[in-house]
Amino acid sequence: MIKPQKLQPGDKIATVSLSWGGPGTIPHRYQAGKQQLQDEFGLIVVEMPHTLKDEGWLHRNPQARAEDLMAAFADPTIKGIISTIGGDDSIRLLPYLDLDVIRANPKIFVGYSDTTISHLACYKAGLVTFYGPAIMAGFAENGGMFSYMVESVRKTLFSSEPIGVIAPNPDGWTVEMLDWADPANQTRRRQLNPSTGWRFLQGRSVSQGHLIGGCFEVLDWLRGTEFWPERDVWQDGILFLETSEDAPSPEVVKYGLRAYAALGILHRLSGILFARPGGQTPPEDFAEYDRVLLQVVVEEAGLSDLPLITGMDFGHTDPMFVLPYGIQAEIDCDGQRFEIVESAVTD
């Protein structure tokens, strides 16, 4: 895998709208994310030609969205690319992506949710990319960015040192929904629930592997396409999964996990990381997701030693930490520790 160069203050960052036209629909939310990103990290944020187009125009023009991404990769003055927000149709960009351009111009690429599609395209091109905050979700956090996320971004994108141990956010978590369309909400801090840590469901000793995964529902859309990772890619991988704000039920997650078993993926893995469920899932229901994981992995697939960590701080829960694709991570089941053991960027 090709590691991109690390970021530093003064670098130019491009924003791209790969799916939903959020910036053109709720411009003040986009501007808040842009400003907070610039102020905190000293970056220069620029838009690609179609980033601010309205939602309808972007929906009708997937090729233009793809062209923005390709132009951002090809531009030598741009050091990183951040997705403005997710959505549900960036899969329509795939016919227009040029993996040779991505491979020849490695640079930091960040986003989550529907951006899973573009991450796996970059993975196929051989580039390390980053499952992390978007401009309008994470960087535009109401009342200012969470320090837990800021620290993760700095350690992962701005330093060529090994990323190191990732711990649960001690200050708590939130999935509270505040209407972005109401500008008054931008200064209102979301309520945090108390931290309960992560749950190490099973596993023995220490397991190591490369990180691969994304949004549970979006990954499902890619199965059967040429961008779905080949079998060898899953060997010794640590699969990270998170569910969207649509909050698919534990039963739906069970069916998806069964597909991974049928594809021979589960038996190749070194571990599974499962995020805190997205959407308005009551905390008392979190155990049901653990139950279906254990049902499929242990009872049905017979993998009683495969490390499983659940309730983690990434994806559609805030604050989130950043996960670099293709980078080696380590799960210490006995010590209940998760660590990213190498750097994800170069000097």
Q: How far apart are the first and last CA of the chain?
A: 16
CATH of the domain at 73: 3.40.50.10740
User: For 295, which DSSP code?
Assistant: I
- Asked if 121 and 195 sit in the same domain, the reply is no
- Asked if 84 and 219 sit in the same domain, the reply is no
- Asked if 149 and 180 sit in the same domain, the reply is no
CATH of the domain at 315: 3.50.30.60
> In the numeric block, which tokens belong to residue 153?
């971004």
pLDDT value of position 30: 98
* Residue 67 in domain: yes
Please classify residue 187 by burial: count the beta carbons closer than 10 Å to its beta carbon, then call 0-12 exposed, 13-18 middle and 19+ buried.
Answer: exposed
Domain final residue pick, 162, 178, 197 = 162
55's CB contacts (< 8 A; 6+ apart) are 20, 21, 22, 24, 25
In 3D space, the residue among 224, 75, 258, 55 whose CA is nearest the CA of residue 18 turns out to be: 55
* Residue 122 in domain: yes
Dihedral (C-alpha) 273, 331, 343, 127: value to the nearest 10 degrees? Answer: -40
* Residue 347 in domain: no
Which of 146-160, 191-205, 255-269 is least confident? 191-205
**Strand arrangement of the beta sheet that strand 206-215 belongs to:** 164-166, 337-340, 328-332, 206-215, 237-242, 271-275, 308-312, 199-202
* Residue 231 in domain: yes
* Residue 265 in domain: yes
Q: Predicted confidence band at 239 (pLDDT cuts at 50, 70, 90)?
A: very high
CA distance 347 to 344: 10
Q: Predicted confidence band at 204 (pLDDT cuts at 50, 70, 90)?
A: confident
User: For 236, which DSSP code?
Assistant: T
Positive/negative CA dihedral, 136, 192, 241, 79: positive
pLDDT value of position 160: 98
The pLDDT of residue 282 is above 90? no
Q: Predicted confidence band at 242 (pLDDT cuts at 50, 70, 90)?
A: very high
- Asked if 111 and 252 sit in the same domain, the reply is no
- Asked if 187 and 331 sit in the same domain, the reply is yes
- Asked if 179 and 150 sit in the same domain, the reply is no
pLDDT in tens, 69-89: 999 999 999 999 999 999 999
| Global confidence as pTM | 0.97
335-340 average pLDDT score: 97
* Residue 94 in domain: yes
CB 282 within 8 A of CB 173: no
Diameter of the chain measured on Cα atoms? 52
- Asked if 42 and 176 sit in the same domain, the reply is no
The pLDDT of residue 347 is above 90? yes
> In the numeric block, which tokens belong to residue 202?
């099973």
- Asked if 123 and 174 sit in the same domain, the reply is no
User: Which residue(s) pair with 337 in the sheet?
Assistant: 332
CB 6 within 8 A of CB 345: yes
- Asked if 201 and 146 sit in the same domain, the reply is no
Domain ranges, residue 87 = 12-162
